[in-house]
């Protein structure tokens, strides 16, 4: 059966599932009801649910009619800690939790793909791994799959996935070769000095004054340490010190994020931040210390996988609905823990906007945004067709 018709058979069922998920969002690592629903649906579709020891999230395995390669399809399932403000009949029923990043769409697309592929499993030469990942918003879910050795169930030969994009119209997808999302590392800086009375700074080592110089010097990391052809962003998002106007405190704490699209530049900028903090503080008689939370690496799409997705899209939604994404995003995506570490892979953008409804255009992580349900069959059709082509 033609892929689009195969997917459209279940369109109403999938919209109902998506709206149920939207009404019942769960935070990272708390996706218990979502996990149970996914297991129930996969079992109903005849797909094996493999227990690899994860508390939330699901790994499903579909064995094709003949031996062959393995396609791994990954989507995230967690919601955001924010109150929904969208005026829709299926709005979140959970206080201060909502699916404003579209992970309810992602989960449903993967369920739709699973149901369709299960119906044609005899034509597939190989396996399909369905990876319903928890905790993407915390950047830890993909690592959980790695730690539980998901690849021992069936070693992937390719990874694919998607993310909703309200800036593109529903019915279309966006493709970007090469670097598509940035790495994200969090740094914590502590500048220590010597506190005392604000009337006698000569008896103190003022960490606030030192921190002002540190903060200024850190602005040179991207502009002077990073190669200008590689986009990067460094942001200090919080700084805390002291409690009174006439007291010089003992220390200042600040924290921020460093994002890069290049593996080598990422390391070079981390080293520069360490050096600047240490040296600047020492020059002013203080002490500087940097602590890192190393996050996900850049997400770099494989040209070959992108070409395969383009071919699948041309066969299903038509070439005129394929958008070439010009610029990468400096947002991060923990899908990058999986490829190219274990196999080539790519993530495509799934258009979810609708000009008839401006509320679909607010953007992700905006609690007023809604997503056009019709994008579900678009995403599933491209995924199913790619899988059929790969496992011919």
Cis peptide leading into 340, omega within 30 of 0? yes
Q: Are strands 158-169 and 125-133 parallel, antiparallel or unpaired?
A: unpaired
Rounded-to-integer distance, Cα 316 and Cα 313, Å: 5
Rounded-to-integer distance, Cα 293 and Cα 187, Å: 6
Q: Which domain holds residue 266?
A: 185-293
Residues 278 and 380 in one domain: no
Distances (CA, A) of 245 to 198, 212, 241, 249: 8, 17, 11, 10
SS3 351: strand
Rounded-to-integer distance, Cα 52 and Cα 152, Å: 10
Residues 51 and 78 in one domain: yes
Residues 216 and 303 in one domain: no
Residues 195 and 64 in one domain: no
Residue 62's closest CA among 155, 16, 124?
A: 124
Residues 238 and 381 in one domain: no
**Hey, which bits of the chain come out as E strands?**
48-50, 58-63, 66-76, 125-133, 158-169, 173-175, 178-181, 185-192, 196-197, 232-240, 247-248, 251-260, 287-293, 299-301, 322-324, 345-353
Going residue by residue through the chain, which has 392 residues, state the pLDDT in tens, using 9 for 90 and above: 999 999 999 999 999 999 999 999 999 999 999 999 999 999 999 999 999 999 999 999 999 999 999 999 999 999 999 999 999 999 999 999 999 999 999 999 999 999 999 999 999 999 999 999 999 999 999 999 999 999 999 999 999 999 999 999 999 999 999 999 999 999 999 999 999 999 999 999 999 999 999 999 999 999 999 999 999 999 999 999 999 999 999 999 999 999 999 999 999 999 999 999 999 999 999 999 999 999 999 999 999 999 999 999 999 999 999 999 999 999 999 999 999 999 999 999 999 999 999 999 999 999 999 999 999 999 999 999 999 999 99
Question: Last residue of a domain, which of 272, 293, 314?
Answer: 293
Residues 70 and 8 in one domain: yes
Residues 277 and 347 in one domain: no
Residues 175 and 41 in one domain: yes
Residues 135 and 198 in one domain: no
What CATH number does the domain containing 276 carry? 3.30.70.360
What CATH number does the domain containing 25 carry? 3.40.630.10
Point out which residues pair with 345 in neighbouring strands: 159
Q: Residue 111: enclosing H or E segment and its boundaries?
A: helix 103-119
**Is there a contact between 309 and 272 (Cβ–Cβ < 8 Å)?**
no
- Which DSSP string do the residues of 197-262 spell out, in sequence order? ETT-GGGSB-HHHHHHHHHHHHTHIIIIIS-TTS-EEEEEEEEE--SSTTEE-SEEEEEEEEEESS
Q: Are strands 299-301 and 232-240 parallel, antiparallel or unpaired?
A: unpaired
Residues 276 and 311 in one domain: no
Distances (CA, A) of 317 to 184, 311, 378: 34, 10, 7
SS3 sequence of 8-38: HCCHHHHHHHHHHHHHCCCCCCCCHHHHHHH
Question: Last residue of a domain, which of 264, 293, 322?
Answer: 293
Question: Last residue of a domain, which of 293, 308, 332?
Answer: 293
Verdict on whether the full-model pTM lies above 0.85: yes
Rounded-to-integer distance, Cα 176 and Cα 347, Å: 8
Residues 36 and 135 in one domain: yes
Domain count, the chain: 2
Residues 283 and 306 in one domain: no
Rounded-to-integer distance, Cα 53 and Cα 360, Å: 37
> How confident is the model at residue 75, as a pLDDT?
98
Point out which residues pair with 292 in neighbouring strands: 187
């Amino acid at each position: 059966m033609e892929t689009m018709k195969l997917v459209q058979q279940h369109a109403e069922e999938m919209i109902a599932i998506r709206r149920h998920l939207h009404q019942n969002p769960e935070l990272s690592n708390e996706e218990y009801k979502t996990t149970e629903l996914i297991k129930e649906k996969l079992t109903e579709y005849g797909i094996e649910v493999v227990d690899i020891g994860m508390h939330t999230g699901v790994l499903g395995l579909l064995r094709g009619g003949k031996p062959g390669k393995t396609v791994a399809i990954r989507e995230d399932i967690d919601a955001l800690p924010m109150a929904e403000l969208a005026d829709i009949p299926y709005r979140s029923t959970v206080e201060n939790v909502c699916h404003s990043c579209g992970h309810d769409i992602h989960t449903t697309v993967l369920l739709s793909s699973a149901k369709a592929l299960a119906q044609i499993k005899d034509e597939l030469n190989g396996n399909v791994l369905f990876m319903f990942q928890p905790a993407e918003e915390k950047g830890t879910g993909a690592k959980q799959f790695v730690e539980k050795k998901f690849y021992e169930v069936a070693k992937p030969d390719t990874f694919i996935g998607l993310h909703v994009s309200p800036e593109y119209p529903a019915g279309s997808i966006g493709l970007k070769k090469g670097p598509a999302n940035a790495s994200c590392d969090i740094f914590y800086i502590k500048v220590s000095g010597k506190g005392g009375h604000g009337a006698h700074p000569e008896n103190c080592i003022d960490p606030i004054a030192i921190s002002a110089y540190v903060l200024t010097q850190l602005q040179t990391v991207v502009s002077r340490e990073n190669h200008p052809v590689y986009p990067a962003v460094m942001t200090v998002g919080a700084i805390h010190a002291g409690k009174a106007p006439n007291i010089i405190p003992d220390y200042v704490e600040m924290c921020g994020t460093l994002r890069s699209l290049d593996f080598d530049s990422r390391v070079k900028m981390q080293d520069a931040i360490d050096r600047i903090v240490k040296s600047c503080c020492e020059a002013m008689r203080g002490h500087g210390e940097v602590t890192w939370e190393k996050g996900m690496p850049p997400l770099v799409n494989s040209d070959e996988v992108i070409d395969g997705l383009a071919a699948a899209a041309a066969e299903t939604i038509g070439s005129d609905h394929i958008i070439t994404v010009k610029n990468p995003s400096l947002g991060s995506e923990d899908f990058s823990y999986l490829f190219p570490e274990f196999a080539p892979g790519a993530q495509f953008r799934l258009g979810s906007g609708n000009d008839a409804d401006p509320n679909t255009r607010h953007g992700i992580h905006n609690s007023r945004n809604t997503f056009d349900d019709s994008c579900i069959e678009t995403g599933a059709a491209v995924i199913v067709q790619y899988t059929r082509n790969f496992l011919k």
